[in-house]
């Protein structure tokens, strides 16, 4: 679908087009970036009304998303290929069965961006974002919702071992089932800032870090009745900094935080079964940030 794009192009996913997702090969992707670096892929808001004509691809005239219904097909919706500086804006993907965004080149690439994108839908599984070999992938203002793969190494958003220093900011996670919402096992340091996690069910923890991360200004809330941990810090995450977060209704707010975190401070832990002992944190029935010391 992107065969004619060249470096510097903006590719608009037009609201008067129809993309049938039923016939995509199992090993292929619906939209495969395979031609050049520095491509920007945008959906856009239309003023001419709903363009759903049989229903696989249509324009959301209220929120301004171009919508792709993958119909639970066995394929990745977007595959980044082996290119640098790719950006996606205003794309909504529903009912994806594998990766909605497969950001996994075969060699190190630079600076992929997802901005104002939405992954969700009743049939959604697989991963919302799977990334490796990307230096500085960024997710801004995205919505991730639904149920996702429960593989032991999976997350709805998954940065694997050769990913480097991703940023997730101002995103909303409404997760009804997954192994984890965010799993970071890359290199460098992840920044997770200003996100909301409304989690009805995950199998183990909301956030897992196996490499250092800065986790700040987030809200993590158990919105269901399942038992799971808020943040799990593994030995590879030694040096993590966790501050100015609200974590509510989970088992361990920060599991192994005392052992591996460099800094835990000014967090609000509400109705959690166990909490770290280091730092100046607020443990109360009335959530509020702790005043700076």
Residue 80 has what pLDDT? 78
Phi, psi for 219 (deg, rounded to 5) = -120, 125
Q: Is pLDDT above 90 for 138?
A: yes
7 or 84: which carries more pLDDT confidence? 84
The confidence score (pLDDT) of residue 161 equals: 86
Overall average pLDDT of the 47-76 stretch: 55
Q: Report the b/e string of 107-119 with b at 16+ CB within 10 A.
A: eebeebbbbbbbb
* pLDDT, position 262: 93
Output 159 or 9, whichever has higher pLDDT. Answer: 159
In terms of Cα–Cα distance, which of 194, 198, 163 is closest to 177? 198
Picking from 42, 136, 121, 51, the residue whose alpha carbon sits closest to that of residue 85 is 136
> What are the tens digits of pLDDT across the range 226-279?
999 999 999 988 899 999 999 999 999 999 999 999 999 999 999 999 999 999
Does residue 151 have a pLDDT over 90? no
Residue of 18, 24, 99 lying closest to 57 (CA atoms): 18
Q: Where are the domains of the chain?
A: 1-103+115-130, 148-293
Task: Give this prediction's pTM.
Answer: 0.82
């Amino acid at each position: 679908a992107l065969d004619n794009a060249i470096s510097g192009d903006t590719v608009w996913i037009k609201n008067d087009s129809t993309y049938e997702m039923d016939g995509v090969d199992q090993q292929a992707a619906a939209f495969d970036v395979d031609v050049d670096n520095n491509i920007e892929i945008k959906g856009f808001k239309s003023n001419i009304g709903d363009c759903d004509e049989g229903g696989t691809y249509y324009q959301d005239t209220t929120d301004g998303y171009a919508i792709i219904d993958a119909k639970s097909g066995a394929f990745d919706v977007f595959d980044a290929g082996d290119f640098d500086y790719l950006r996606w804006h205003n794309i909504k993907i529903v009912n994806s069965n594998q990766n909605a965004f497969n950001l996994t080149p075969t060699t190190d690439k630079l600076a992929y961006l997802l901005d104002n994108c939405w992954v969700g839908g009743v049939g959604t599984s697989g991963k919302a974002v799977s990334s490796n070999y990307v230096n500085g992938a960024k997710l801004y203002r995205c919505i991730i919702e639904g149920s996702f793969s429960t593989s032991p190494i999976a997350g709805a958003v998954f940065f694997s071992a050769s990913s480097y220093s991703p940023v997730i900011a101002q995103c909303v996670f409404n997760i009804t089932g997954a192994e984890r919402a965010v799993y970071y096992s890359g290199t460098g340091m992840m920044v997770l800032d200003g996100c909301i996690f409304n989690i009805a069910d995950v199998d183990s923890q909301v956030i897992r870090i196996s490499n250092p991360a800065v986790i700040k200004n987030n809200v993590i809330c158990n919105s269901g009745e399942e038992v799971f941990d808020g943040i799990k810090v593994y030995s590879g995450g030694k040096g993590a900094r966790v501050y100015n977060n609200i974590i509510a209704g989970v088992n361990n707010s920060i599991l192994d935080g005392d052992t591996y975190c460099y800094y835990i401070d000014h967090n609000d832990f509400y109705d959690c079964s166990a909490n770290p002992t280091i730092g100046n944190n607020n443990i109360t029935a009335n959530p509020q940030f702790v005043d700076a010391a």
